[in-house]
Amino acid sequence: MVQAQPATLTFADYLAHDDGTDTRYELVRGQLIAMTPPTWQHLLIARYLERLFEVQIQQLGTRWLALQGAGQQVNDDTSRLPDVIVVPIASIQDDYQNTAVLSDAAILAVEIVSPSSTADDYLHKLAEYEAKGIAEYWIVDPLALGASRYIGTPKHPTISIYRLAEGEYLAPLQFREGDVVESAIFPELRVTAQEIFGQ
């Protein structure tokens, strides 16, 4: 018996997709990938970061928004759902009635690592966000799920921040416990890794 391969979807197909459920999907190389429901810790960290970024945006006086739930198209057949993104208002102001998926590069994207997303967050999304030109990518790993090659040994909860320079991400800055997180996007940010993990 031959199994039929699932149809490959375009980005336009993805935007129009509605299976009648509340299931959230990413489009990965033309295939719909259902997202597992987040833990409470995951949701609270995302909420904390969204609010933290909003305060920083107000202090900088920029026309940006910090958002949960919005998507990021990374190429013609892949669109991701970062946990938090920072977007320029100009990129969305003409698209208010359209699906909340950003086609321009976000300024900053955050992924909070869960058991089902570890490889994606540290490998695939890292490469995709780099190629898209997202200036800063945060990997927030509250359970130290990343491989030792990414977060060191012994493994501790870690925030890895990748900064784009000349089209490539530099080696990440890493923050643990009482380390004060450093962001090029938000230079006045004063928060420790533990304050983020403690949400």
The answer on pLDDT for 19 being more than 90 is no
Residue 144: left if φ>0, alpha if ψ -120 to 50, beta else—which one?
Answer: left
Q: Quote the pLDDT of residue 7.
A: 78
Backbone angles phi, psi at 35, to 5 degrees: -90, 135
Q: Quote the pLDDT of residue 165.
A: 97
The answer on pLDDT for 174 being more than 90 is yes
Average pLDDT over residues 40-60: 97
Confidence of residue 162 (pLDDT cuts 50, 70, 90): very high
Instruction: Name the E strands within the chain.
Output: 25-28, 31-34, 64-67, 71-75, 78-80, 84-88, 101-102, 108-112, 136-141, 158-165, 168-169, 173-175
Q: Is the dihedral of CA 32, 151, 45, 71 positive or negative?
A: negative
Q: Quote the pLDDT of residue 115.
A: 92
Query: d(Cα 107, Cα 53) in Å, to the nearest integer?
Result: 12
Q: What is the pTM of this model?
A: 0.93
Helix (H) or strand (E) holding 47: helix 40-60
Check: CB of residue 86 under 8 Å from CB of residue 52: no
Q: Each residue of 55-91: pLDDT tens digit?
A: 999 999 999 999 999 999 999 999 999 999 999 999 8
Query: d(Cα 33, Cα 52) in Å, to the nearest integer?
Result: 29
Confidence of residue 6 (pLDDT cuts 50, 70, 90): low
- Measured CA to CA in angstroms, residue 128 lies from 28, 50, 78, 120, 178 at distances of 11, 22, 9, 10, 30
Q: Each residue of 102-152: pLDDT tens digit?
A: 999 999 999 999 998 899 999 999 999 999 999 999 999 999 999 999 999
